[in-house]
Every structure is written in structure tokens, then in C-alpha cells.
Structure 1
């Protein structure tokens, strides 16, 4: 049977990390340190890349422990049959080709020739079958395969066949997730715990040294299938918890790159003598969510009034330092079928805001609260802008800031009226966001808004089984316009994915899920 998608740990962690990047730092302390010679890395040579990260890697289990600090170490070790490029397009990876049957029920993958694990052993289709079945069986899987899979088999050493009980178009995109990386059958004779303590995969790097409260050092996988890659022989994930220190270490050459540089530092880094930034579009949208079960926000005219009162572009300008796009729809532009460029949003029209409120149950206004997690200055600024906009139409909003644990428990219990949070696609398919934010029967009950529209539900279910093409595009176009009109949430902005590196670094590939590929990196 089709599995129910759960609330992804990665979704929480990635969006929290992105939000943290958008927060404004309050201090600018300095740190001394000698600069490196041009043409060398932080280690003093051209073969080691040192990457500053704000959190340590605590686990390498690709099925369960996948907060962002772990996820982007895991994807350097394990690789899936298919993956995606910086534009979110699905590409063959460990599979050299794939085929989907006309009825959408059979997916056939042919492995590349000469694939080996990092220990030198051949990769076979049986390894892929084992990996997918283990993922399916993992009761704590944070990113489960949600298709109704009938069987996973290996007709021969090079062929993997997945049969479905019913069509499910997002399957290929789900398989591109790093959580569907290939591991050796039976963990190469080890226990699962022992295997993930010293993992073997097909990725470009191998774990060399690992401090779960500090740094992680990778070395080059000498058996990597992309010949001549990676260009670097060592990759160091250096724990630098303070963002200002990370910037100073990049400027002085103590690190070669920063995973999440603060946006207020980007102009300085982009125009620095020895630094530059690399960007990509993201799968994240920061959003105001309405609890549509609340007496006030069950009224569509109230929701539309607040949406019309707010100028989303003002929010984007206030928090993003020019590194975000104002959102008009729930789907970021980096996801196929986004109608960002064509949708008609409910936005920035004070006269219409007043008209909508006059048609509501509360024409004279009312009092309500905006719930947000403390410590996020970007969200605080956005809440203040909504507060100010609402006041112009007679709605008094109080901002309630709570610690992150309380925030999560509150919104998951539907104990809020308005909240500001973020939505992150787990894989490059429109369903990853639409299903999560518009299905009242799903795990999150339409992302904890209680929003329900039977027509939208039917359309999203149809889109899940409709092959990619014009018909599927039309379904998602209609869904997005309905969501824009009924305003269960106000999409605010989609931030760019931004990495900062030394100017002598080339070949870094920034991905829309906030990860990077180091295969083509060169220093000097």
C-alpha cells in the first residue's frame, strides 16, 4: 500500500538553516589569522578543501538521522540511481539509463558499467534491491518512499526493476533523494550500526576521521565511477559555530568555503579581494500560515484581506539583502510547474483589503496573534510588516515569540492563529510541496492549517498519477491559483542558496536543496 509521508526531519532542519542565514547578525567581532598564499587552500596545498559548517555531523544513517548537518555529509558517501542537477532536473546517476512503462507501473534501471563501492567491490543490482527494501522497511524513515510499491527485483546484475500497484509520477524524483543511496547488500556482512559508523558507498568521498562533536575529514574515493574525480584528495568539514568567525576565517584563508554565510556579509564577500559567492535557486518558501480552524481565519475574506494588505516585496527587501525572490505561489520557481511568473496573487492592494474585510464576519476588525520562533530576526521583521499592514484595515495583531521547541509543539497542535514558517521540497517534484500543503488527509493536515478543499484534493491526487506533460502542468496551475485565491497561507519569499568561497576555488556546484557537489572543485 502507498505509504503516508511523514513530517521530514530534513524539511525542518533545512528550512531552519535557511532561515538562520536570513537572520541579521548583531555582532562583528574580529579574529586574527594569517592569510594563505594565492593558489593554495586553507591547508596550504591545492588538494584539500576546508568547508566551514555551523553544526557537527552526528550520524551517517541515510534513512533515519537526516538533519541538514548530517544530510550533506551522507550525500558525499552514498549515491542514488538517479539524481538532479542544479536546476532540479532529474538526471541518471548510478543508473546509466531508466525506462518507465506506458502504464506507469514498471520502472527499469540499468546500472553503469564498472561501478564499485569505495572498498573496491563491484556494485550489483542486488545491492540496489537491498537498499530500497531496507529503506522501505525502516520504521523511522524520515523521507520514506511513498509510492505503492509491489516489488523490487534484480532480473540480472545490471538491472533493477521496481513494480508499482498503482501509478505514482513523483517516484523518480523521490528516488533522486540521497536517502535512496545504494549500500552493499547485507551491509557487507556488518551490523547496521557498525556499517554506518564506518560506511562504504559509491560516492566521491570516504570517511577518514570523524569527531561527532567537531570536524569530519573525508578522503577521495579512489574507486569513484566518475573517472579523474574528485579533483581534491581531502575534504574537511570544519565546525565553526559562529558565523562572524567563519567569515573572518574565509577572508584570511583559514577555510576555503562557508556553507551558510550570513546574507549581510555577502556584498563584502562578493566584492572581496580573495572571496566570492556561488548561488542557486532554492526549494524553500518562507510563508505566513493561517489556522483555518480558527474562528477568524476560517473566513476566506479575512485571509484575503490580510493578503491584500501586505506588500510581499517589502518583506523580501527587508530580510533578504537582495538574495531572495518574492513568492507569488507556494511552489518555488526552482520546482517544475511553478506558476511564479503567471499566477495572479492576492497581494498589495489596500482598497481591496478593506473591501474583503467588509465582506467578512468581522468588518470592524478584530484582535489576533502571530506565532513565531524566537531568535529569527528575519521572521520577526516579516511579522512586524504584517502587523503594520493589518493595522491599516483595523486588524490588531500581537506578535508572540516563543522558543523553537514550544513553537513546534504549538503549531503541530494547531495552537495558533497565524504563524510564520517555511516549506522545503524534499525532492524536485511539485507534489513534494503541494501534497504536504494541500492534502487535509495527510500527516500535516495541510501543513497544520486545517485547510481543505475537496476539488484541490482530487486534483492533487490526479496529478500524482498523471505523467509529466501538459495535463499535469494544467492541474498544478489550477491548484496553485486556487490556493492563491483562498489564501490558507501567504507565500513571502524564496531565498537563494548561497555559498561563499575563496576566489581561487572553481567548480563548486550549488544545488537547490542547499547541498553542493565537490566533484569538479579545483583550487588555484
Structure 2
């Protein structure tokens, strides 16, 4: 009998059927709005997309571009041409071939498709040329320093051309890439299920059979699911919950500096905040140190702009703005509202965001500014931002390894994520120049000039730089700590 049982186990079987598949469950703070990289504008989208889609290049722990679907690249013709060599033998999850034609299809789609959120990122690309089956030339209009960093994110995600042509606008509901996990199903506001890509090009990966994402907008619920073992990983972790996770012998917390920022878009085209002096009055009430201590228990970095201290574009000579109620009152008078005014701040669900909004509300009230708080679902929030249907909106950015990704599409005229509706040709000129300069000191100077204008015009109030916070079971291994905050599960294991 023992011999027979041993044979059954060796064959990968157990009484009653096959060995149970390994399922890793991840709790997120919201339901991803869109799984098509073309249309995506949320960090939570990227958490799932990075498992379905490989990119041309990836990032290492130091945010350095490293090979992924491109095995290597060269920069030619005065930095106006990038030549990429592609990985052979890669298949999309629908069985079709990944090759140079697929890369051209993807980059051209991102550049030209209606409604593309990637168009701004790839605007410097003049043409994409197929040299041979495994070689692509990307021809630029002028030198473009952020290109590799951009291709390490959604603009570099390779989707199946066959699937796009077949599904059209429905592609985001049945996404197909070359990544370690393939899409199985989605139940809105409940779960997204991914399965192991058995034909993944990196042999031996992924290590788990199934990856399930579940949205828990409530921080307490998200943490409770980790503490109970209902999920294996959660991100983000509310600062108040870090200690409970660290004290649990079965769990661990991973906290490291991120590259993003958080704050508020102020609508410069309609409502009371279209008045610049009133924007300045409100901004002068914000106490960033209090936000850090009260809401984030010392885990946030007060911000002087969109660039974190780890970025080469960070200029320490620009001070973090301090609250100044006398300045706020002078600006109220200048804006014709000496007794104050009221506006609505729209936020996404979640107790931390609600607490943060209430802190802003209390600070503004000291100057006679009444802040009404409106909470809407995250996808709705982004949609209203795109339409300019708000007065103020608390939306941050997860950050990009190149500083261009933290400012360009948010501050330039008609940028796809310029929700405030701000337009200043001088800022545009500085940001465009910074894209074409390769010397880091010269780029920093250009960003500083642009930032000084933005800090006066205030289409956005930069408040703090969040840290990446992950809570996980000690049974989970193999998740690298990449500062972009995206969890990569290709090498993740789930022990006993």
C-alpha cells in the first residue's frame, strides 16, 4: 500500500485527483478600471497588466532599464534612432508569434489610436520600422531621453495584434499578451482571475498556477483579509496597520521609497478655483508636515513638486511650501473673496483618503475656505477628471523612473492627464526642451524653471510622496522590491 501511495505521489497525483493547484491571491485598493494599456491611467491597472503583458524593457531594483522582450538595443544617428533586437521564440497567449511586426503594430496603435493614453508619451516617435523579423528601428523626431523608461511601462507592453483586431473595443475585457499569466475571467468589483501561461518564454516560470486579484477599497477590510489568510499579499497597507502586520508571526511588511506623488488637481477653467488668487489662498493653508504626521504616521515625504528626493530632477533649493494663513487671507482679498469661498473636493473611496480630505478641510477652514467632500468610485473619478467635471480632485501619480513621466502629460497644454485644464506655452517649451537634452544637470535646470511657474500658477497642489507598502504572508517568496511600486509575480512562490 505504501509503495502504491508513493508511486501515486511521484506521478503528481493524490487519492481523489490531481494535486491541488497553487493559487496566490492579492488584495488591491480598488478594482482596475481598464486592462488595455492603450486606455489605462491608473496604478492599480498596472498591477494586473504587468502579469499579462511583457514589455520591451523592464526595470531593476535601481530603476535601470533591463532586457525583457527586447534582448538589447543601440542608440544611433545622434540619439534619434533606437534599434531593438527582439527575443526569439516568444508567443502571445493566443498562440500567435511575437515579432517585429507585432512591435510596430503596438507602438503605432499607442501613438495613433483614438483615445490613446499613450499618445503623449510616444509623441516624439516619428516612425517605427521593421528591419527584419527580430529587429525594430524606432525613429525619433528629435532626441528623446525618456524613451527607454517609457518603454518599461504601458507604452512598452506588447498586446496580441490578432486579439486586438478580433475584439476591437472589447480587448480590455479579454486581454492577451506574452506575460507569465493569462487572463481567465473578471467579475467587476469582485475579482480578476489569471492562470499560469504554460508556454511562457522563460522556462520554469511562473511558479504558481493561478493569480487572483481582489479589490478592497476599505483599508481595514484589506488588512483583515491578510490577517485572516484569505489573501496572501496586499498593497497598499494603511500606515496604521503596519504595526499589526509586523507583529503577526505569519506575516511581514515591506516598505520602501516610491517615485510618485499625491495631491490635488484644481480646475483652472471653471468654478471658484479658476481664479488663480483663490487657488493660491487654498494652497497656502496646506500643512504638509501635519499631513505626514497625522494621516501617515511619519511614513510620507512632504513634497515640493512632482519629483521625489531620489530623482535627479529633484531641486532641494525649492523649499517645501509651509502653511501661511496670512498669505491665504491676502490672496482671498486679491481674489475678491475676503470672507472666504467654498468648493467641492472629489475623492475616491477609502478611509485614509477620507481622513486626508477632512484634514485638508480643517486646514482650509482656518482661512474661511469651506471644502465640501464628495466621494465617488475610482473609475468614475478618473472619467470626471478627463471631462473636467470637478472643482478640485484628489488624484496622485504612482511615478515613473524618468522625471518626464511625472510632469509632462500632467502640466502641458492638452496633456492626456492634465485634468486641471492648465495651459502655459512657456511651461510646454521648457518640458519639451527637457525631453531632448541628455545631460542630467541641464534637464534638472529646465524642470526647475517649469516647476517654479507651476508652483505659482497652481493647477496642482503637490502634497506628499508616498512610500510603497506591501503586506504579505511569509509563505510568499520571490517578489522583487522595484521602486515603481508594481508587484511582479513571475518568480513568486507560495510555500507550505
Counterpart position of 1:143: 118
The Cα shift of 1:314 comes to 0.3
TM-score of the pair, normalised by structure 2: 0.79
Q: Is the 8 A contact 1:61 1:196 kept in 2?
A: yes
Q: Distance in 2 between matches of 1:409 and 1:520?
A: 35
Counterpart position of 2:344: 371
Tell me, what secondary structure is at the counterpart of 2:252?
strand
Map of 1:200-219 to 2, 5 A cutoff?
200-207=176-183, 209-213=184-188, 214-219=190-195
Instruction: Summarize the Cα distance change of 1:319–1:204 in structure 2 as closer, same or farther, 3 Å threshold.
Output: same
The Cα shift of 1:81 comes to 0.9
Instruction: Summarize the Cα distance change of 1:153–1:251 in structure 2 as closer, same or farther, 3 Å threshold.
Output: same
Q: Distance in 1 between matches of 2:176 and 2:302?
A: 42
RMSD between superposed Cα atoms in Å: 3.9
1:507 aligns with 2:482: no
Which one has more relative contact order, counting CA pairs under 8 Å at least 6 apart?
Answer: 1
Counterpart position of 1:80: 55
Pick from 202, 206, 210 the counterpart of residue 234 of structure 1: 210
Counterpart position of 1:18: none
Partner deviation per Cα, 1:88-147 (whole Å, 9 max, x = no partner): 443332112122224332121111344344466653222212222233342132333532
Q: Distance in 2 between matches of 1:497 and 1:216?
A: 22
Map of 1:62-461 to 2, 5 A cutoff?
62-64=37-39, 70-118=45-93, 122-144=97-119, 145-187=121-163, 192=168, 200-207=176-183, 209-213=184-188, 214-238=190-214, 243-291=219-267, 307-333=283-309, 335-339=311-315, 341-348=316-323, 353=327, 357=330, 361=334, 365-373=338-346, 377-379=351-353, 381-386=355-360, 388-389=362-363, 395-404=367-376, 419-424=392-397, 427-440=400-413, 442=415, 447-448=419-420, 450=422, 452=424, 454-461=425-432
Deviating 4+ runs (over 6 angstroms) = 193-197, 293-302, 405-417
Q: Distance in 2 between matches of 1:389 and 1:467?
A: 42
Instruction: Summarize the Cα distance change of 1:460–1:75 in structure 2 as closer, same or farther, 3 Å threshold.
Output: same
Q: Distance in 2 between matches of 1:410 and 1:199?
A: 25
Q: Is the 8 A contact 1:87 1:281 kept in 2?
A: no
Number of aligned residues: 472
Q: Which runs of 5+ in 1 are unaligned?
A: 1-43
Q: Distance in 2 between matches of 1:215 and 1:306?
A: 39
Partner deviation per Cα, 1:304-334 (whole Å, 9 max, x = no partner): 5655554211012222233322112222346
Instruction: Summarize the Cα distance change of 1:79–1:333 in structure 2 as closer, same or farther, 3 Å threshold.
Output: farther
Tell me, what secondary structure is at the counterpart of 1:516?
coil
The Cα shift of 1:159 comes to 0.8
TM-score of the pair, normalised by structure 1: 0.76
Q: Is the 8 A contact 2:219 2:350 kept in 1?
A: no
Tell me, what secondary structure is at the counterpart of 2:243?
helix
